[in-house]
Amino acid sequence: MDLGLHGKTVLVTGGSKGIGLACARAFLAEGARVGIASRSKVNLVAAERQLKGEGYEVARFAGDLIDPAAARRIAAEAEQALGPLEVLVNCAGAAKRTPPQELTPETWRAAIDAKFFTYVHAIDAVIKGMAARGRGAIVNVIGVGGKVASPTHLPGGAANAALMLVTAGLAAAYARQGVRVNAVNPGATLTDRLKQGLEAEAKLDGISVEEALARATARVPLGRLARPDEIANAVLFLASERASYVTGAVLALDGAVHPIVV
């Protein structure tokens, strides 16, 4: 199926590893022009080297999206390198998982900064330009924690819930200007971030990380955890011309762990 992504200009935040890197790779395979952003220059260089070894060229931009000025700079540099941005994939920032008895006001604030404002700042830096040009697609990689409260993921889950509202609200606000805004909610996915979540759950329940992983896998009706490329496939569809009438959607990608009707 031709997704109509060849030649599209794409910025993936958090694109140096995990789901973000899988998204960047998938867009490149479709012939898109791709930039990846991360606060870690080391991770960006490693991702660029990996993609180059696979035959792909990618632009890289370093900066901490908690800072709105950095988000504006990254967007400007990406447009200078790639051309006017047509697709933004938000995957940067992750809230630290913390057992409830260890939560503090600072923990809550750090989670909102890390997961909510990194997305909002990136969106703000590109969406007005997309609207002025009359086209654009934004896909927010959020997470199921915004719908189902986890004791070890309360601050991050609160940020996720807020991002789902932002997704729906901006989709309605910008639809007439040709900008679509959608989201995906991955469940447990085989990335480096999964390890930190498992460690927090293991600490709370007094079990080993290996047992926490086994429990997480056993909860999935499909019988396994997601791969990053499987999340990327959904992101590509939502960003593509094949999803031209899809906006304001939040797609669950948790293997039916939480069979919720919305």
Instruction: Return the pLDDT at 5.
Output: 97
Kindly tell me if the per-residue pLDDT of 262 is higher than 80. no
Is residue 19, in this structure, part of any structural domain at all?
yes
Exposure of 164 in the CB half-sphere (CA atoms within 13 A): 20
Q: Report percent pLDDT > 70 for the chain.
A: 98
**Which residue carries 């994939």 as its tokens?**
89
Q: Tell me the three state secondary structure of residue 94.
A: coil
Q: Bigger pLDDT: 6 or 97?
A: 6
**CATH number of the domain that residue 92 is part of:** 3.40.50.720
Is residue 260, in this structure, part of any structural domain at all?
no
Task: Out of 37-46, 137-146, 194-203, pick the least confident.
Answer: 194-203
Is residue 259, in this structure, part of any structural domain at all?
no
Whether the CA torsion 74, 46, 188, 180 is positive or negative: it is positive
DSSP annotation of 101 reads G
Measure the CA–CA gap between 243 and 223, rounded to whole angstroms.
Answer: 29
Is residue 120, in this structure, part of any structural domain at all?
yes
Kindly tell me if the per-residue pLDDT of 23 is higher than 70. yes
The mean pLDDT value for 61-86 works out to 98
Distance between terminal CA atoms of the chain? 28
Is residue 261, in this structure, part of any structural domain at all?
no
For the chain, give the mean pLDDT: 93
Look at the chain and report how many structural domains it folds into: 1
Q: Tell me the three state secondary structure of residue 59.
A: strand
- The residue range of the domain holding 137 is 9-253
The mean pLDDT value for 71-80 works out to 98
181-201, pLDDT tens digit by residue? 999 999 888 787 777 777 777
Is residue 42, in this structure, part of any structural domain at all?
yes
The mean pLDDT value for 101-119 works out to 94
The mean pLDDT value for 123-151 works out to 94
